Structure 1
């Protein structure tokens, strides 16, 4: 009887596990469908003909495959100017972010730094309380940074949260390594760049990803500080096209292509701009996937 009851209990547990697995699978399928359909819909709209889009014939897959809208948008000069600005802000800004994050985190990780506790407190304080938008705007404009590339870089040069992550990584390095380097005559800069930084490369890779994504998606700083269109990043260009003036691309096509431009859907032009703005991220995602996993687990395990 005991063996029979144990067998029944085992079968019930297996059935429960299977039901749980099926439920999880269905939830995953639902989540994938909810996130994938809008993306597929945008791509399908961008690849369909203007007549099919205007008639509402596109639901999931492209109808009357057509690349004329892509040609029209890609001939628009401001798109490539904003692309170049975004790459500049992302590459230069991310590099400076990492450099200054390391310079801020390293002394805060050293116990012999006499202001360590006070500076750590001030760093944490800024995560919960800030001066506000208006004082920040007054400072930036007062320094003469308005309508300059530095306005996109300097106000967000260091993230307090990322400095704390980097500081924890430096603190995890064995103190004996630093002591040996000091005995050999190395100064703090040599220890930082020759010993500490190489040992925390995985953490720096994750922080680089964090900073780069934030730089690439940043449009609010440009909205505040960049008034010249030739300095605006891709995200601000995309915002202008989506909300205000998607017709300017059609008008820029010239009289020779006025008829074909008039046949295009305004929504289609907007969706083409969205797809073109996603291309760099889609190309980089397969190569940075492992760092996304590391970023998810960063700081989650203590030991």
Structure 2
């Protein structure tokens, strides 16, 4: 390499390391605070590791009924919502990938149109209210934008277009229907893109809080992220006091409970990622090369 290329290489490495530190520090800070004693948790300044170790914040968090209710509702919306999204997006993307579909271009443009122009918050709220999904857990998996993602649908469509048509032709000669071909041939060959899109949908479902804030009033149907927002961002003293009263609240401060709750909401989705990482790069690359 030339001198200029070496300088650029060093600059690039330093920049990437700096960027990684900037992204990792908030996570490390919250992790350190969550394992700290009350005195250490409220200490101002950097927290890279707990100087005084304590598990009291996690004991209090695990003893809270609302945390477990939120976990249950979040797991429900993540699992059911992701599965339904993959099924219905596959059912939509598969016919759109066929050139012999009548008016295929029109339907594709109609779907793409929704990426740029949407009804807005108020019409969506009125729609959810009129169809009877208010204060129902089904609103998490049936309400836009999580039920079907336009971008993910187009990625699936592009991937299906890469699969050789000869496979389907031979299956049809054996008497297989389109549904049989889709679920027996197309989807098994599409594991990389399904894993990629599934990861996107699962992360979006897990992190979503706004729809719960809009459509859910019953605390027993509240997801963990909405409860976390009330606890941390809104700094809801009533929620915090109720949680500390319910769990005893001894040897803890609000800062450590908030940090422990954030960790409990973050770690599960981080654990899932390594199992899907091998599909991620391959899926997004193949699914985006053909329009």
1:90 aligns with 2:78: yes
Q: How far does residue 257 in structure 1 lie from its aligned partner after superposition? A: 3.7
State how far apart, in whole Å, the 1-side matches of 2:127 and 2:86 are: 23
Aligned residue among 120, 129, 137 for 1:141: 129
For structure 2, which runs of at least 5 residues remain unmatched after alignment? none
Taking structure 1 as reference, are residues 267 and 175 closer, same or farther at Cα in structure 2, changes over 3 Å only?
same
Taking structure 1 as reference, are residues 55 and 200 closer, same or farther at Cα in structure 2, changes over 3 Å only?
closer
CA contact (8 A) 1:51 1:264 kept: no
State how far apart, in whole Å, the 2-side matches of 1:35 and 1:225 are: 32
Taking structure 1 as reference, are residues 264 and 227 closer, same or farther at Cα in structure 2, changes over 3 Å only?
same
The answer for the alignment partner of 1:37 in structure 2 is 25
Which 4+ runs in 1 deviate beyond 6 A? none
Within 5 Å, which residues of 2 pair with 1:11-160?
Answer: 13-56=1-44, 59-155=47-143, 156-160=146-150
Q: How far does residue 200 in structure 1 lie from its aligned partner after superposition? A: 1.6
**Per-residue deviation, residues 128-161 of structure 1 (Å, max 9, x unmatched):** 1111111111111101110111111112311111
SS at match of 1:153: helix
SS at match of 1:281: helix
State how far apart, in whole Å, the 2-side matches of 1:57 and 1:161 are: 42
CA contact (8 A) 2:195 2:280 kept: no
Q: How far does residue 249 in structure 1 lie from its aligned partner after superposition? A: 4.0
Report the TM-score, using the length of structure 1 for normalisation.
0.88
**Per-residue deviation, residues 199-253 of structure 1 (Å, max 9, x unmatched):** 2221111111111111111111111111111111111011011123255344444
CA contact (8 A) 1:105 1:167 kept: yes
Greater Cα offset, 71-80 or 52-61: 52-61
SS at match of 1:272: helix
Question: Once superposed, what is the RMSD of the aligned Cα atoms?
Answer: 2.2
Within 5 Å, which residues of 2 pair with 1:1-303?
Answer: 13-56=1-44, 59-155=47-143, 156-242=146-232, 243-245=234-236, 248-254=239-245, 257=248, 260=250, 264-294=252-282, 297-299=285-287, 301=289
CA contact (8 A) 1:209 1:291 kept: no
Taking structure 1 as reference, are residues 109 and 218 closer, same or farther at Cα in structure 2, changes over 3 Å only?
same
State how far apart, in whole Å, the 2-side matches of 1:255 and 1:240 are: 17
For structure 1, which runs of at least 5 residues remain unmatched after alignment? 1-12
Report the TM-score, using the length of structure 2 for normalisation.
0.91
Larger Rg: 1
Taking structure 1 as reference, are residues 246 and 284 closer, same or farther at Cα in structure 2, changes over 3 Å only?
farther
Greater Cα offset, 31-40 or 282-291: 282-291
Taking structure 1 as reference, are residues 267 and 252 closer, same or farther at Cα in structure 2, changes over 3 Å only?
closer
Larger RCO (CA within 8 A; separation ≥ 6): 2
How many residues of Structure 1 are paired with residues of Structure 2 in the alignment?
288
